[in-house]
Amino acid sequence: MEPREVTPFIAIGVSKQDIREQIWDYMESQNLADFPRPVHHRIPNFKGSYVACQNIKDLEAFARTQEVKVDPDKPLEGVRLLALQSKKTLLVPTPRLRTGLFNKIIPPPGATKDVLRRCATSEGVRNYSAPVGLDSRVLVDLVVVGSVAVSEKGWRIGKGEGYADLEYAMMVSMGAVGPGTPVVTIVHDCQVVNIPETLLEDHDLTVDYILTPTRVITTGCERPKPTGITWSKDFTSVIGKCLKAFSSAMISWEMLGKIPILRSLRCREEQAGKDVTLRDEPRHLLATPSIVRKPRGPPLPELGSGQVEDVPSNTVYVGNLPRDARVSELKTALGVLGAAPLRLTWQGPQRRAFLHYRDAASAQRALFCLQGFHLGANALKVARARQQRTSDLVGGRAEEPHPDHRPSVADP
């Protein structure tokens, strides 16, 4: 089927959402869609996606890549499998960035083809992966993203939530990709349409190659890709699409609570001297460590009788740990968020831990980064550890952080 069959509806004044709806409706009405259905509000899976994925083997960029980032969308499953079969390092973004940025897929030793197929699915992200944090030395050679629509000029429209754009901007900020890193998308032929340039924004990710079941398109796109996160803009235009909330200020602050690793990156960029002020952000929510508000909640539990002492202000209390949580799981999560302490006091039976940082400013930045973080299904309670007995802190089991999770905060 020629892609021009769906181009007539692209008209002056059309919006990105108009294009999405037309593509989704067309794929459903023509029975081009594949599981999961309906494809509305998704990166659509389509019949022939596996054939389209095989075309990536014709790209020199894929042949020479060592580390490839592939989105978790269903139609990209074939590329994830090819990457594993080719023994390339496969990075898959954490869905909606809830627990981190990437997961590195690690097949078990001697994995059969069937096992590799499972590793390439959403099951693989859950069961055969390790988190990759901001401290990890990641150098991505190739980026593969899903699309709802794309033009032969390389202009792309996603499903409207902005995660692909945000992930790319975060990769730029952490040095994982550069201007020459190629970006590939895989779509059905009917998804290749004319997209008015007036719809494009600075944060929109463009693509260099388009793979369909019948074609390999080199776009030759010269439009610059995102150069990192512009906090004053990205939070209200990109993140705003994710939340569909009422005010831009609430949008940015709410998303910081939903994406801890983004909050951690914001802390780092602030320490590096970058302007991370969010557009229309209320003054009392500015990201200065000294004015971050403590989360509301019950006071820390009393731990027995005796005189109460203040502990050093460089200690952070972490409560509501899952009953079956292990200290290694908390260490890993802290490392991913860039909030690893100098020392960790583990009190598993009480479902809490104390994180000891270099100084008060480091503890305050960690507290900010941990707001809203979940370990398993539990939302962790975090606060400065005040009015706790020193004897209670030392009564737990002190654990030194793993060498891979050394403290990453800078001296203030």
Whether pLDDT at 379 is above 80: yes
Q: What are the pLDDT digits (tens) for 89-98? A: 999 988 766 6
Higher-pLDDT residue of 410 and 382 is 382
Confidence at 6, pLDDT banded by 50, 70, 90: very low
Q: What are the pLDDT digits (tens) for 174-186? A: 888 988 899 999 9
> Chain-wide mean pLDDT for the chain?
76
Q: What is the pLDDT of residue 328?
A: 86
Tell me the percentage of the chain whose pLDDT exceeds 90. 40
Contacts of 375 (CB under 8 A, 6+ apart): 321, 322, 325, 329, 330, 333
**Range picked from 74-83, 107-116, 253-262 for highest mean pLDDT:** 74-83
- Intra-chain end-to-end CA distance of the chain, in Å: 60
* Residue 181, CA atoms < 13 Å, CB-side half-sphere: 24
The domains of the chain are located at 16-218, 315-384
Q: In CATH, what number does 16-218 get?
A: 3.40.50.10420
* Other Cβ atoms closer than 10 A to 5: 12
Whether pLDDT at 171 is above 60: yes
Q: What is the pLDDT of residue 365?
A: 79
Q: Which helix (H) or strand (E) holds 354?
A: strand 352-356
- For the residues 300-319, what does the mean pLDDT come to? 58
Q: What are the pLDDT digits (tens) for 130-146? A: 888 776 778 999 999 99
pTM of the model: 0.66
Residue 317's φ and ψ, nearest 5 degrees, are -85, 135
Q: What are the pLDDT digits (tens) for 194-239? A: 998 889 887 789 999 999 999 999 999 989 888 777 666 544 444 4
Q: What is the pLDDT of residue 167?
A: 82
Q: What is the pLDDT of residue 296?
A: 40
- For the residues 43-50, what does the mean pLDDT come to? 96
Q: How many residues does the chain have?
A: 412
Name the fold adopted by 315-384.
Alpha-Beta Plaits (3.30.70)
Whether pLDDT at 124 is above 50: yes
Q: What is the pLDDT of residue 386?
A: 64
Distance of alpha carbon 157 from alpha carbon 210, whole angstroms: 13
Whether pLDDT at 304 is above 50: no
- For the residues 364-374, what does the mean pLDDT come to? 78
Confidence at 312, pLDDT banded by 50, 70, 90: low
What distances in angstroms separate CA 150 from CA 185, 200, 202, 308, 396, one per listed residue? 8, 12, 16, 63, 56
Confidence at 265, pLDDT banded by 50, 70, 90: confident
- For the residues 265-287, what does the mean pLDDT come to? 62
Contacts of 182 (CB under 8 A, 6+ apart): 59, 61, 142, 143, 208, 209
Task: Identify the CA nearest to 211 among candidates 236, 183, 186, 176.
Answer: 186
Confidence at 34, pLDDT banded by 50, 70, 90: very high
Q: What is the pLDDT of residue 197?
A: 87
